[in-house]
Amino acid sequence: MVGSDGNLAQVRHVILVLSGKGGVGKSTITTELALALRHAGKKVGILDVDLCGPSIPRMLSVGRPDVHQCDSGWVPVYTDAEKSLALMSIGFLLEDPDEAVVWRGPKKTAMIAQFVSDVAWGELDVLLVDTPPGTSDEHLAVLENLKKHKVDGAVLVTTPQAVSTGDVRREITFCKKTGVRILGIIENMSGFVCPHCSECSNIFSKGGGEELAKLTGSVFLGCVPLDPLLSTCIEEGKDFMQSFPDSATFSAISSISQTLLDSLQTA
């Protein structure tokens, strides 16, 4: 499915990454899915429109580069020499990374509208859109502007506890009301992987995401455990998928990304 015009014309698939609440690891999942898709040979882009906490530049160790403009808009920042992973973050455009974004709705939605339409992505297999948590004006602004081109669907991120799955249930309702296809649910922080013996302990309970998928008739994409190795890579801006290919977490993320690719082919 290829868009008909504009900067998304050569982007084959657009996936929103949503969560009903903050702190469930949505940006981490977005980053690791992008890296997994890149390792699978895909050209990937990440659009980070999380105004409140644009953290993906740090996770990919790109810092605060100068954003350049070309005739068709802003040029994304490439994280590798092969230019197979492109990133545009709202954080690049904020004058001071430590300042809070204290903007009213209209200014936020105008910024997001410009941001969604004015990035010159070029040719991409998959564009992942990291959204703010919840179901706010920002989501509607992202959707309204992306829908002019296309949105393949949304991936919902939750943690296992009932308080998180309850919030994701509202996100599912949001998707249905706005006509966004739900590609699946990911249960993040699903157990803790011991760095010494690799045993997995369910410190946050387990199975909430899978149960929610069953109750709502959604696809369950899989579980990603709490893994200190993954946390270290995220903090240091290293590629976990390249550093720890033998880990169970690697297998989990790779499996989820492959399931996603398969579902996009059948869309």
Which residues is 201 bridged to in the sheet? 192
Instruction: Assess contact for 238 and 230: CB atoms under 8 A.
Output: no
Q: Could you tell me which residues are annotated as the binding site?
A: 20-27, 194, 197
* Residue in the block written with tokens 């990133």: 87
Q: Return the closest-CA partner of residue 139 out of 179, 112, 101.
A: 112
141: which 2 tokens? 């602004």
Residues flagged as binding site for ATP: 20-27
Which one, of 159, 112, 158, lies nearest residue 131 by Cα?
112
Which candidate, 155, 126, 262, places its Cα nearest to that of 218?
155
Q: Give which of 107, 85, 97, 99 is closest to 55, Cα–Cα.
A: 97
CA 156 to the chain's CA centroid: 9
Q: Rounded to the nearest 5 degrees, what angle is found at the Cα of 215, between the Cα atoms of 212 and 217?
A: 100
Q: Dig out the tokens for 143 from the structure.
A: 């959707």
Cβ–Cβ under 8 Å, residues 182 and 219: yes
Residue numbering of the annotated binding site for [4Fe-4S] cluster: 194, 197
Tokens of 255: 């499996």
Strands (E), 90-159: 124-130, 153-158
What interhelical angle do 162-178 and 208-216 show, nearest 10? 30
